Amino acid sequence: MNKFENFTGIVAAFDRSNIDTDAIIPKQYLKSIKRSGFGINLFDDWRYLDPGEPGQDNSQRRLNPEFLLNREPYNAAQILLARENFACGSSREHAVWALMDFGFKVVIAPSFADIFYNNSFKNGLLPIALDEEVVDLLFTELQGQPDYRLSVDLQGQVVSNAGGVEFPFEIDEFRKYCLLNGLDDIGLTMQKSEQIKSFEQQYYQKLPWLQ
Amino acid sequence: MAGKTLYDKIWDLHQVDTSADGAGLLYIDRHLVHEVTSPQAFEGLEIAQRTLWRKRSILAVPDHNVPTTGLEAGITDPVARLQVDTLNDNCDKYALTEFKMGDVRQGVVHVIGPEQGATLPGMTVVCGDSHTSTHGAFAALAFGIGTSEVEHVMATQCLIQKKSKNMRVTVAGEVAEGITAKDIVLHIIGEIGTAGGTGCTIEFAGEAITGLSMEGRMTVCNMTIEAGARAGLIACDQTTLDYIAGRPFAPSGEMWDQAVAFWGDLHSDDDAIFDREVVIDAADIAPQVTWGTSPEMVCSINQRIPDPADEVDTIKAGGMRAALDYMGLKANTSFDQIHVDKVFIGSCTNSRIEDLRAAAGVVKGRKLAANIKLALVVPGSGLVKQQAELEGLDRIFVDAGFEWREPGCSMCLGMNADRLDPGERCASTSNRNFEGRQGTGGRTHLVSPAMAAAAAVQGHFVDVRELMRGEL
């Protein structure tokens, strides 16, 4: 996993709540046994006018000219702004892989589905939950400003606009640490192998039917 | 000191370590694995040269991609076949327990776990699938995880987790006759919303819940994720024990007695404090039908499609308009005006024997309506199918014009060939009515098995209770 660096990026705003994982990456693409290559099918049903199948040459498909991510400068957006309960639905980590493969580094919303929120950190995508009023304000600010950008400072836990107005956000210390250092948490847990083994000894003594 | 909730008890029992910021290292008892979310995890282990910590915790099964017809030909879609072959290869390589295609025990992962007794009270159960919440019906802490977490559990038998909040939904009193578990849970989601349980573990309680069979309890816990909560729980009682006793993976003899003694404590203490409490009057619940593209867009069969003009929240009203547009529906329409093209009875929500019995009870002696293009019954497992055939349910369905299929996830998400075509409308016993969920452009209405069966024979939505009383 790459270290998360501060950056300033273009914001693509989706003014709807409950954007689900089926919309983010439709099921036919979950048949892949890889972690990469999902970006081209991000929001597939909204992005293309004709249906798609895995393995298809997507350059031959008709793009929906109305769809935000098909237009400049949003095709290079790095921050996705949405309403509440973003990425509800399935546990598919493919949703995170698709967003990152497209180029997104941050998603800002008032709230996230729990599994997606967890999955994001495992891959270096930063989900930022901001109060509904702040999200409202951002939606208002970017109206009529196609080149609207926000800066993200993870160390300082703050999002700021071009005018320097800062919007602080919360994040667990451990998750922040892993993102900033690009750490794989499996390795960190494996350092506790002895502790896990001694837990197991006591545990199976107490609950022998599970052994 | 206040007592503990059921969630607190299971959480505490599995704490290996607690870090400074409150995240815990949680020990995992049962890891269910399927073909879609595991290949990248197995690959990750290999790349990092790690091995599996506790192979016997794993029970694997292919379900999402498997065809439900023409099994002799195997999987004809090469991409899907590679995914199932990859699961088979990985399970063979590490000598993991897997019920392969063709094994009578194969089926939807959330049906076969409990069916085998692989889900036991007090356990932590995970799977790379959000509907893992199903297993909470057994007083097990069960939740869906992503592929990175699948790999984490494989390598360490643990997960780094932050404790959720405690929420309790009490469905007080008894439901009216003809009201099923699916109606209860859809009604709950309609009340609290799809983000109503975000950050929480929901314990379901009350007479209407404890009065349910294990199949019904699984239906309720299954859809907890649709209310935003990763895990749902129901306390262990005699109904739980009666279901588990004698199943292949369940303890027996002296071990059974020890286990039962321990499981006796798997309920919330009387003085436990919940962060959030919701009480619902069971008597208010009528048969439910969803009308939109989120499970919270649901109402009673005897209501009309809601009007966005009546919604004061503008974002919500916009969402309603978009949903009605996608669904091809107009506000204020009554449900008996809504004709369906396809009917799907199946999925991890409603494909157990009791679900099939309920649907067959409605279908018996009737025929599919002329406008129904396809009606599928997809049993949750080979064993459910076998049992249904013993009871003659397959004949009832086939005589009425339904197709009787092989077990799998099927049209719940349409990863195999069972799908809706653009614009088609489906009465479905599954769990998600998202845009495109059952096929690009497909329109899904979530209902109970009895309601789906009633729509199949009438050709449009009806109150199944009226149909059964001969009023239609």
Alpha helices in B94-232 (DSSP H): 109-116, 147-156, 181-192, 207-210, 214-222
Residue A195, classified by CB atoms within 10 Å of its CB into exposed (0-12), middle (13-18) or buried (19+), is middle
Mean pLDDT for chain B overall: 97
The pLDDT of residue B472: 85
Q: Amino acid identity of B177? A: E
Cβ(A48)–Cβ(A62) under 8 Å? yes
What is the C-alpha separation between B456 and B344, in angstroms, rounded?
9
From the DSSP assignment, how many helices (H) and strands (E) are in chain B?
A: 16, 19
The pLDDT of residue A184: 84
Torsion sign (Cα): B312, B316, B318, B319: negative
Q: Which residue of A has its CA nearest to B261?
A: A207
CB contacts, 8 Å: B144 with chain A: 90-91, 115
The pLDDT of residue B23: 81
Residue A198 lies in a domain: no
Q: In angstroms, what CA-CA distances link B412 with A50, A124, B111, B429?
A: 22, 31, 14, 8
pLDDT in tens, B291-300: 999 999 999 9
What is the C-alpha separation between B153 and B367, in angstroms, rounded?
48
Q: Which residue of A has its CA nearest to B316?
A: A17
Tally of CA atoms within 13 A in the half-sphere of B420 that contains its CB? 28
The pLDDT of residue A20: 97
Residue B353 has pLDDT above 90, yes or no: yes
pLDDT in tens, B42-55: 999 999 999 999 99
Q: How many Cβ pairs closer than 8 A exist between chain A and B?
A: 186
User: Does any CB of chain B come closer than 8 Å to the CB of residue A177?
Assistant: no
Residue B1 has pLDDT above 80, yes or no: no
**With an 8 Å Cβ cutoff, are B414 and A18 in contact?**
no
- Residue among B152, B258, B434 minimizing CB distance to A189: B152
CB contacts, 8 Å: A45 with chain B: 435-436, 440
**Chain B: nearest CA to A157, how far in angstroms?**
16
CB contacts, 8 Å: B413 with chain A: 22, 27
Residue B370 token pair: 């002329």
Using DSSP's 3-state secondary structure scheme, residue B221 falls into helix
Residue A149 token pair: 């950008």
Q: Which uninterrupted H or E stretch holds A94?
A: helix A94-102
Mean pLDDT for chain A overall: 96
Provide the pLDDT confidence category of residue B18 given band limits of 50, 70 and 90: confident
The pLDDT of residue B433: 98
With a CB-CB cutoff of 8 Å, which residues 130-149 of chain A face chain B?
A: none
- Residue among B152, B158, B436 minimizing CB distance to A22: B436
What is the C-alpha separation between B327 and B292, in angstroms, rounded?
7
Q: What is the pTM of this model?
A: 0.96
Cβ(B403)–Cβ(B53) under 8 Å? no
Cα B274 to the chain's mean position, in Å? 25
Tally of CA atoms within 13 A in the half-sphere of B146 that contains its CB? 24
The pLDDT of residue B20: 65
**With an 8 Å Cβ cutoff, are B146 and A83 in contact?**
no
- Residue among A26, A54, A122 minimizing CB distance to B148: A122
- Residue among A20, A55, A90 minimizing CB distance to B79: A55
The pLDDT of B213-228, averaged and rounded, is 98
Q: What is the ipTM of this complex?
A: 0.94
Residue A189 lies in a domain: no
The pLDDT of residue B22: 72
**Peptide bond just before A73 cis, omega within 30 deg:** yes
Residue A15 has pLDDT above 90, yes or no: yes
The long-range contacts involving B303-311, CB below 8 angstroms and separated by at least 24 positions, are B304/B331, B304/B332, B304/B333, B304/B334, B304/B335, B305/B329, B305/B330, B305/B331, B305/B332, B305/B333, B305/B334, B305/B335, B306/B331, B307/B331, B307/B332
Percent of chain A predicted with pLDDT > 70:
100
Domain of A138, in residue numbers = 7-183
Residue A1 lies in a domain: no
Strand pairing category for B165-172 and B276-281: parallel
The pLDDT of residue A54: 92
Residue A199 lies in a domain: no
CB contacts, 8 Å: B294 with chain A: 18, 20
Residue A209 lies in a domain: no
Percent of chain B predicted with pLDDT > 70:
100
CB contacts, 8 Å: B228 with chain A: 85, 88, 113-114
Please provide the DSSP assignment of A24-61 as one string.
HS-GGGGG-SSSS--GGGTTHHHHBSS---TT--GGGS
Residue A120 lies in a domain: yes
What is the C-alpha separation between B65 and B414, in angstroms, rounded?
8
**With an 8 Å Cβ cutoff, are B437 and A123 in contact?**
no
Cβ(A33)–Cβ(B83) under 8 Å? yes
Residues paired with B158 in a beta bridge: B27
The pLDDT of residue A1: 84
CATH of the domain at A38: 3.20.19.10
- Residue among A22, A115, A208 minimizing CB distance to B145: A115
The pLDDT of B351-357, averaged and rounded, is 98
**Chain A: nearest CA to B153, how far in angstroms?**
9
Provide the pLDDT confidence category of residue B19 given band limits of 50, 70 and 90: confident
Residue A211 lies in a domain: no
Residue A144 token pair: 């009529």
Structural domain total, chain A: 1
Provide the pLDDT confidence category of residue B195 given band limits of 50, 70 and 90: very high
Residue A200 lies in a domain: no
Q: Which DSSP letter does residue B36 get?
A: T
The pLDDT of A97-122, averaged and rounded, is 97
What is the C-alpha separation between B144 and B187, in angstroms, rounded?
23
Provide the pLDDT confidence category of residue A27 given band limits of 50, 70 and 90: very high
Q: In angstroms, what CA-CA distances link B243 with B74, B97, B137, B140?
A: 33, 22, 11, 14
